[in-house]
Structure 1
Amino acid sequence: MSGSPAGAHTSSGGASLPPLTDGPHRKRLGVVALIATFGGLLFGYDTGVANGAERPLQAEMGFDTIQIGIVISSLIFAAAIGAMIGGRLADQIGRRRTIIALSVMFFAGTLLVITSPGGPEHGTHTTLGFSLLVLGRIVLGLAVGGASTVVPIYLAELAPYEIRGSLSGRNELAIVIGQLAAFVVNAIIAALWGHHDGVWRIMFSICAIPAIFLFIGMLRMPESPRWLIEKGRGEEALRVLKTVRSNERAEAEFGEIEQVAVEEKRNDSRALGIRAVLSNKHLLLILVIACGLGIAQQFTGVNAIMYYGQRMLAESGFSEDMIGWVNIAPGVIAVIGGTIALFMMDRVNRRTNFLWGYGLTAVSHVLIAVSMILLFPEGNPIRPWAFLVLIVIMIGSIQLFLNIATWVYLSEIFPLHMRGVGMGVSVFVLWVANGVLALLVPSIVGAIGMGLFVVFAIVNAIAFLFVLKFVPETRGRTLEELEEDVTTGAIHLS
């Protein structure tokens, strides 16, 4: 199942479109992408902030290991639900309105977290404080999950196929920028006010700032033209396309999208929703493949580092004074790798990225396990630095080849009539896998220490074989061409 080369098409759609041109429409498209990716920035900050806040939160509130695991993982499990709801909601009320609603949820969730009662003045945590803290994390999780589904769809549907990978991939880059920002802000806040009670509240409060920017910005952004066409609002869709394309390209692309929408209506595909997936073996197979990629991405181990990096750095042997600062290194390499990945996204096939990514990640986990368990036992001064270097290599491999490629792939592989549902289901599965890890990592590290990386190595080797056998190529095709090939099963023959 080798991928088709860039520019190859199985139908005449992409090949017959006028070429992209520069002009105000390209700048407008860039502004739309910038505003929408504040959703990714919030995704990254709200998941990354726990990395530095969870230990002072646990100490101040008097939580045991299970309770802090519940607080951290509640966001992740809620994100799984948010992904499902967000996808369905985006199909019903539109991508733009859904993102606006999510920005309000980001703000409300932050307020619940930072105002939850507890701490020394209450004799550690109260039942109400714990409940409000978890509720706030759940609201944030619903918003994070919704954003992880809807923002990539929104960007993919607005992007020309030639630059769909790099434009859609900006959301994943925004996620790791958000995580890096959380690491840096946490380190600064800890250095300035770490000796004060409630320092974790300050860390969480920063989440409200990008939520405000997302809300204000999206009020001025257009709706997805593909969603408008699906809802029978063709004139409005053409007006939107003309703001982000040249007039000639907009009209040609509008005709192609409208033709597919008419064929869907003729076949009653639009009315079937999830039933369309279950009644078509080709759609069901693509959904299973997408879910498999979502699970595989989580078991790269990236979020074990992004959520519990400071805990694992302490396990490797770093002192308390250094943990906050060296924890920034994985965030920096994630941003660097993501930036390079954006450049590669429209030049390198998705399958090639996946194979290199899972191969290098599996090797990284083997090296970490061997180094930590056999070569550098506890007390060896080289141990913490060896761990940091290998973690940076691992995160770099994941971010360079896997994270952006996975989110782009999920946003483009599903046909229009099931895009919200398909993306919602696959991201739901992704978040459930994420939540299981978030809940169990503290206990696993406490039980087997660095043996955790042996498990990750095995799973990543399996993921490599999964991609090699089952995952088809998507680069170099319009969304309409992919829709035809996925629905008929032809995508597995290319």
Structure 2
Amino acid sequence: MTNFKFRNIFAKTEERPTPPEVYNWRIYGTAIVASTASVLIGYDTGFVGACFTNTHFLANFGLVPNTGSTDTTVSNLISCFHAAAFFGALLSYPLSHYYGRKVALIVAAGLATVGAAVMLAGVTGSLAPIYVGRVFTGLTVGASTNLTVVYLSEVSPAPIRGQIIAAFEIGWRVGDLVGFWINYGINQHVPPGNKQWIIPVGVQLIPAGLFFAGSFVMLESPRWLFQVNRDEEAIRNLCFLRNLPVENGYMVWEINSIRDSIETQNAQIGPGMLDPAKEVFVRNRKYARRLVISAMLLVIPNFMGIQSINYYSPKIFANIGVKGTNATLFSSGMFGVVKFICTFIYILFIVDNFGRRKAFLLSASVCSLCFWYLGAYLKINDPTKAGNVAGPGGKAAIGFMFIWTASFILAWSGGPFVWSSEVFEQNIRTFVQAINAAMSWVPIFIMTRLTTTMIDKMQYGIFFFFAAVAALAVPFVFFLVPETKGIALEDMDGLFTKGVPAYRAHKRVMEKAAETVIEEQTSQQLFDDRQSSKKAETKYVEDAGANQRSGREELRV
């Protein structure tokens, strides 16, 4: 027992010694401000399902509940947001390429604010403002899933980059939680009428406004500024974020690393807007392979069941034995609480300590087991059928639903965004992340369109489908997804060296970085020794000269 040691869960994986000043309030504050973009995404997830099926919302637009045409209209209202998000992610690339991350985020935030306001005009009884507002906010959300994670990856120090990017997830969960509980509170306390849907629609203006105001406060990405030859501003912004003077050794290393990397990429890839596309799809297929891996990492979790639960959780909880409108809404709200708490656990203890890769593997295994049980339980004893009662198995099913939720959030909710934003070079990062973000919205669109049909047609089989996807994620991650924690963005290419398996790549890159640091320290020591030697020789010569002069003076005397 004397050899047993507790691991410091707050220890940071550093590629090289990092001054403590780097971990300062400025970088964490930047992450919080930028994460307001994701509050809007989370809020939409939390409020829209119950709001658009509210009887007073339907009555305002002349829609009859529980009819095929109404179900189609509601599905269209939900999914047009996701379709717009797909195009918003793609359109964000040229905007950020020419005008920078900050300007692109300001434009996106302004569009969201307008969209949220336009939706309120739907009180007149026309669905047109609802559709227009949903498209505007969808464009913003799609753009922010690209721009925000790229921006955060570019401004954050390597040892805490996972935490900083995962702050995007905090905003998502805050919005998610608020959306769920606003619906629950309205159901409990707001008298029947249009207020029951106008209030949650109007609340969208708050996260949209915060995002718009916050986008003016953020500094432009230093890496983008270096890329467009605005070096003086880039150095000023980087020194502010690192809380270090420009002459500090760490700053000298980081500035030179970024400059060298961008110069190399400009020579190999080119600085033009279409150059990344040529590099990825024509000249260098290694990036195409990496893009497939990162895109799949964003697609897989959205087929593991999270989107179905996000938008249709009341119906799913009812199917596994939770009875009554208030009970199902409360269960959905607690589902949001679990996601919120687990997001903080992920950021504080997992992403930069336990690591991205291990979390993916463990989480996928647990998620698969949970849904195999849920599917088997519903096949054997479906509590929605006459004569069946939920019993202990139903309570266990509800418990497994929450275990599944916790496990998913502790890896697959924010982890794919963290990983995909890290593994590409500066010149192609925004381009490939635009594709990644767009691809992430494809399964969301599909699942929000098909979930109700899958529940009705597949019944218990929908959980077997989700379980199978989670099971397939395990070998995918093991063989193709290397760990990225603690590695500088400029060194990510080493993780994908041909012939090095994913499960060994991280150790290899860290060892190489350690050797480089030792070589630099040795070179510096040799330089210091030479300087000391020169000073000693100079002092010796000076002393010898002084002694000779003293001897001559004595002879004269």
Asked if structure 2 preserves the Cα contact closer than 8 Å seen for 1:78 and 1:141, the reply is: yes
1:320 aligns with 2:325: yes
Asked if structure 2 preserves the Cα contact closer than 8 Å seen for 1:346 and 1:475, the reply is: yes
Asked if structure 2 preserves the Cα contact closer than 8 Å seen for 1:71 and 1:137, the reply is: yes
**Structure 1 residue ranges without an equivalent (≥5):** 9-13, 123-128
Question: CA offset at residue 360 of structure 1?
Answer: 1.0
- Cα-to-partner distance string for 1:419-462 (whole Å, 9 max, x where unaligned): 11111111111101111001111222222333211111111111
1:177 aligns with 2:174: yes
The residue number in structure 1 matching 2:467 is 457
Asked if structure 2 preserves the Cα contact closer than 8 Å seen for 1:43 and 1:148, the reply is: no
Asked if structure 2 preserves the Cα contact closer than 8 Å seen for 1:238 and 1:251, the reply is: no
1:352 aligns with 2:352: no
- Cα-to-partner distance string for 1:112-150 (whole Å, 9 max, x where unaligned): 2221256xxx5xxxxxx2333222211111111111111
What's the % identity of the aligned pairs? 25
The residue number in structure 2 matching 1:479 is 489
Q: Between 86-95 and 271-280, report the one with greater CA deviation.
A: 86-95
The residue number in structure 2 matching 1:288 is 292
The residue number in structure 1 matching 2:189 is 192
The residue number in structure 1 matching 2:448 is 438
| Paired letter, 2:301 | Q
1:112 aligns with 2:118: yes
- Cα-to-partner distance string for 1:327-360 (whole Å, 9 max, x where unaligned): 1111111111111111211112321111111111
Give the match's secondary structure for 2:218: coil
- Cα-to-partner distance string for 1:291-332 (whole Å, 9 max, x where unaligned): 111110101211111111122223334201322222111111
Give the Cα separation in 1 of the matches to 2:476 and 2:26: 39
- Cα-to-partner distance string for 1:436-493 (whole Å, 9 max, x where unaligned): 0011112222223332111111111112221122222222210011146558887857
Give the Cα separation in 1 of the matches to 2:494 and 2:99: 25
| Paired letter, 1:111 | A
Q: 1:76 aligns with which of 79, 82, 97?
A: 82
Question: 1:275-424, aligned counterparts within 5 Å?
Answer: 275-278=278-281, 279-317=283-321, 318-343=323-348, 344-378=350-384, 379-382=388-391, 385-424=395-434
Give the Cα separation in 2 of the matches to 1:491 and 1:390: 34
Question: CA offset at residue 179 of structure 1?
Answer: 0.4
- Cα-to-partner distance string for 1:218-242 (whole Å, 9 max, x where unaligned): 2122001011111111110100011
Question: 1:195-274, aligned counterparts within 5 Å?
Answer: 195-245=192-242, 246-247=244-245, 248=248, 249-271=250-272, 272-274=275-277
Q: 1:488 to 1:95 in 2, by over 3 A?
A: farther
Question: CA offset at residue 376 of structure 1?
Answer: 4.8
Give the match's secondary structure for 1:432: helix
Q: 1:490 to 1:115 in 2, by over 3 A?
A: farther
**Structure 2 residue ranges without an equivalent (≥5):** 1-10, 64-68, 506-557
Q: Which structure carries more relative contact order (alpha carbon 8 Å, separation 6+)?
A: 1
Q: 1:371 to 1:194 in 2, by over 3 A?
A: farther
Give the Cα separation in 1 of the matches to 2:42 and 2:251: 33
The residue number in structure 1 matching 2:19 is 20
Q: CA RMSD in A?
A: 2.2
Q: 1:156 aligns with which of 147, 153, 156?
A: 153
Give the Cα separation in 1 of the matches to 2:162 and 2:501: 18
Asked if structure 2 preserves the Cα contact closer than 8 Å seen for 1:282 and 1:489, the reply is: no
Q: 1:312 to 1:58 in 2, by over 3 A?
A: farther
1:66 aligns with 2:72: yes
Give the Cα separation in 1 of the matches to 2:401 and 2:312: 13
Q: 1:256 to 1:491 in 2, by over 3 A?
A: farther
Give the Cα separation in 2 of the matches to 1:171 and 1:236: 25
Give the Cα separation in 1 of the matches to 2:430 and 2:336: 30
Give the Cα separation in 1 of the matches to 2:123 and 2:201: 14
The residue number in structure 1 matching 2:7 is none
- Cα-to-partner distance string for 1:23-47 (whole Å, 9 max, x where unaligned): 8x71111221111110011111122
Give the match's secondary structure for 1:396: helix
1:134 aligns with 2:126: no
The residue number in structure 2 matching 1:125 is none
Question: CA offset at residue 67 of structure 1?
Answer: 1.3
Give the Cα separation in 2 of the matches to 1:117 and 1:253: 54
Give the Cα separation in 2 of the matches to 1:209 and 1:309: 25
The residue number in structure 1 matching 2:528 is none
Give the Cα separation in 1 of the matches to 2:479 and 2:501: 14
| Paired letter, 1:295 | V
The residue number in structure 1 matching 2:513 is none
Give the Cα separation in 2 of the matches to 1:237 and 1:469: 38
Structure of higher CA gyration radius = 2
Give the Cα separation in 2 of the matches to 1:281 and 1:348: 31
Asked if structure 1 preserves the Cα contact closer than 8 Å seen for 2:51 and 2:197, the reply is: yes
- Cα-to-partner distance string for 1:195-249 (whole Å, 9 max, x where unaligned): 2234122112111112212222221220010111111111101000111112223
| Paired letter, 2:48 | A
Question: CA offset at residue 268 of structure 1?
Answer: 4.0
| Paired letter, 1:287 | L
Give the Cα separation in 2 of the matches to 1:450 and 1:151: 37
Q: 1:347 to 1:314 in 2, by over 3 A?
A: same
Q: 1:41 aligns with which of 27, 32, 39?
A: 39
Give the Cα separation in 2 of the matches to 1:366 and 1:39: 35
1:97 aligns with 2:103: yes
State the number of aligned residues. Answer: 473
Asked if structure 2 preserves the Cα contact closer than 8 Å seen for 1:49 and 1:186, the reply is: yes
Give the Cα separation in 2 of the matches to 1:472 and 1:460: 18
Give the Cα separation in 2 of the matches to 1:175 and 1:475: 22
The residue number in structure 2 matching 1:11 is none
- TM-score, with normalisation over the residues of structure 2? 0.80
Asked if structure 2 preserves the Cα contact closer than 8 Å seen for 1:225 and 1:237, the reply is: yes
Give the match's secondary structure for 1:477: coil
| Paired letter, 1:290 | S
Give the Cα separation in 1 of the matches to 2:394 and 2:171: 29
